[in-house]
Amino acid sequence: MGTLARMVRQECVLLDVDVSAKAEILSCLIQSLYDAGYLSDTELLRRDIMAREAQASTNIGYGCAVPHAHSAALDKSLLAIARLAHPLEADTPDGQPVNLVFLLAGPRDSAGLHLKLLSKLVRLLHDADLRQALLSAADSQAICHLLLEKDT
């Protein structure tokens, strides 16, 4: 199993989430990490994510956003995923609305791993077939399986 696939938690894969703003989907993803017991402080992670967003947009194009941050709110790197019910208009390099959001968060002392995971995820998301499969996956288990297949 690849490094990225180990970071995904099925209970933190949210499907067809109905939100109208990026801040809302970030709150949903952060809450999923908290509800699953992986996060100690939702507000701390939210501040860290928003501070990173203030530096530069994490909308990468192709309908995807990869908000990420280091935070003292958790002790291991994790990935939470949301597939949106309706794409969000966002400031993206290609002008496409966002319909897949991948929240990557890790402890402050994991900069090397964080960069490796972020790079791998962005590379995977350049694959149009994978993006389409993620958009049409039947459930969170299928999404996790798709990432596992690609993360070799």
pLDDT digits (tens, 9 = 90+) for 63-77: 999 999 999 999 999
- Alpha helix (H) residue ranges in 36-139: 42-55, 111-125, 128-136
CATH number at residue 51: 3.40.930.10
The pLDDT tens digits for 62-121 are 999 999 999 999 999 999 999 999 999 988 888 899 999 999 999 988 878 888 888 999
- In which domain, by residue range, is 42 found? 3-150
pLDDT the model gives residue 115: 85
**Number of domains comprising the chain:** 1
pLDDT the model gives residue 9: 85
Average pLDDT over all residues of the chain: 91
Q: Collapse the DSSP code of 151 into the 3-class scheme (helix H, G, I; strand E, B; otherwise coil) and give the result.
A: coil
Name the band, by pLDDT with cuts 50, 70 and 90, for residue 1: very low
Please, are residues 14 and 81 in contact by the beta-carbon 8 Å criterion? yes
pLDDT the model gives residue 117: 87
Cα dist from 89 to 1, 20, 81, 111, 138, whole Å: 34, 9, 18, 30, 24
